[in-house]
Chain A
Amino acid sequence: MSVHVVPLRVYFVIFTSLMILTAVTVAVAYLDLGPLNTILALSIAVTKAALVILYFMHVRYSPSLTKLVVAGSFLWLFILLSITMSDYLSRGW
């Protein structure tokens, strides 16, 4: 069983996308969009991370177990952040 070799072209497309997204995130930061600023910044970061994970780290072509480990780690991070924030956000109630 051979390992999937990602074509070179894919890497360059992803790299270009990452550069564009970086430029976008910097540009958007200078606009006043209220709470949307943070949401957009994080969405772009998540998209960039997803591109790195799926293509540079080959997760798109990896076994399900790998995908499970990736998903699980972000889920656990989410648990840490969300439940702790539930304390801080409800302190004033």
Chain B
Amino acid sequence: MSDTPSAAHPAHLAHHFDTVEQQRESSSLGMWVFLAQEVMFFGGLFLAYLVYRSSYPAAFAEASHHLDVVLGGINTVILIASSLTMALAVYYAQTGKRNLLVLFLLATMLLGLAFLGIKAVEYHHKYVDKLIPGVAFSYPGPNAQHAQLFFSLYFAMTGMHALHMIIGFGLLIWLVNDARKGRFTPEYHSHIEIFGLYWHFVDIVWIFLFPLLYLIGLHDAAGGGH
């Protein structure tokens, strides 16, 4: 078994794989299996949400009105756009356009940062309004306890989502760096592809979080009291 790279054994082929194809399929399957695990991880939060929203529908609807639909909506658009830029990054990796790959990875980072920035603004608003669960929680309405459950789930779910985005952002820094060095070619760009899968997953979580947290009973929202 020779150690020098050759056409049959390119440098990026790890020694325990027989072919580049096997390596690529393995990393892809590995990421998909990891995402299956992530579905179950967020699933526990969705379960808690489901249990308490079905138990306290009115309180949840009312508490939800304290969230900013505009900011949430903008964030949804931003995140879906970042999925587009990520898909384009993969496209340009596949077609060997290094500069465009880097551009769209950077665009994804920028959009991700914007998302996190808006989330920070929203969290700050909640802090000012004393809607962060815990000792300082002060809710101006009936069912304060059940509203606190809503906000607990809001922070747990969006917080866990934001944590995943931060991790993704960190990985993007690494990927941009590698991409700029020309490490990715049409034959070998696994990391870009599988990171794309992760990023899209995080987008999908938000696609569910947005309506479930922000869009409950909005037809009653006018006036703020019920």
Q: Does B160 sit within 8 A of A, measured CB to CB?
A: no
Assess whether A72 is in contact with B36, with CB atoms less than 8 Å apart.
yes
Whether A73 touches B35, Cβ cut-off 8 Å, given contacts A8-B88, A52-B203, is yes
Q: Which residue of A3, A19, A52 contacts B204 across the interface (Cβ within 8 Å)?
A: A52
Whether A15 touches B80, Cβ cut-off 8 Å, given contacts A45-B207, A57-B200, A69-B29, is yes
Residues of the B chain whose Cβ atoms lie less than 8 Å from the Cβ of A18:
80, 83
Assess whether B29 is in contact with A41, with CB atoms less than 8 Å apart.
no
Assess whether B51 is in contact with A85, with CB atoms less than 8 Å apart.
yes
Assess whether A77 is in contact with B46, with CB atoms less than 8 Å apart.
yes
A92 to B94, CA, bound (A): 56
Assess whether A30 is in contact with B219, with CB atoms less than 8 Å apart.
yes
Assess whether A74 is in contact with B39, with CB atoms less than 8 Å apart.
yes
Assess whether B84 is in contact with A11, with CB atoms less than 8 Å apart.
yes
Whether A22 touches B40, Cβ cut-off 8 Å, given contacts A29-B215, A29-B218, A49-B208, is no
Q: Which interface class (under 10, 10 to 19, 20 to 34, 35 or more) fits A?
A: 35 or more
Binds A, one of B69-77, B116-124, B130-138: B69-77
Q: Does A93 sit within 8 A of B, measured CB to CB?
A: no
With both beta carbons as reference points, the residue of chain B lying nearest to A26 in the complex is identified as B73
CB distance from B107 to the nearest CB of A (A): 13
Residues of the A chain whose Cβ atoms lie less than 8 Å from the Cβ of B196:
56-57
Residues 47-86 of A contacting B (Cβ, < 8 Å): 48-49, 52-53, 55-57, 62-63, 65-66, 69-70, 72-74, 76-77, 80-81, 84-85
Assess whether A22 is in contact with B80, with CB atoms less than 8 Å apart.
yes
Residues 4-47 of B contacting A (Cβ, < 8 Å): 21, 24-25, 28-29, 32-33, 35-36, 39-40, 43-44, 46-47
The B interface is mostly helix, strand or loop, or mixed, namely helix
The A interface is mostly helix, strand or loop, or mixed, namely helix
Whether A88 touches B55, Cβ cut-off 8 Å, given contacts A5-B95, A76-B39, is yes
Between A11, A31, A85, the greatest number of chain B beta carbons within 10 A of the residue's beta carbon is seen for A11
A49 to B57, CA, bound (A): 25
Residues of the B chain whose Cβ atoms lie less than 8 Å from the Cβ of A6:
87, 91
What residues of chain A have their CB less than 8 Å away from a CB belonging to chain B? 1, 3, 5-6, 8, 11-12, 15, 18-19, 22, 25-26, 29-32, 37, 41-42, 44-45, 48-49, 52-53, 55-57, 62-63, 65-66, 69-70, 72-74, 76-77, 80-81, 84-85, 88-89
Q: What are 21 residue pairs bridging A and B, where the CB atoms are less than 8 Å apart in the complex? A: A3-B94, A5-B95, A6-B91, A15-B80, A18-B83, A37-B219, A44-B211, A45-B207, A45-B208, A52-B200, A53-B200, A53-B204, A57-B196, A57-B201, A72-B36, A77-B43, A80-B43, A80-B47, A81-B46, A84-B47, A89-B54
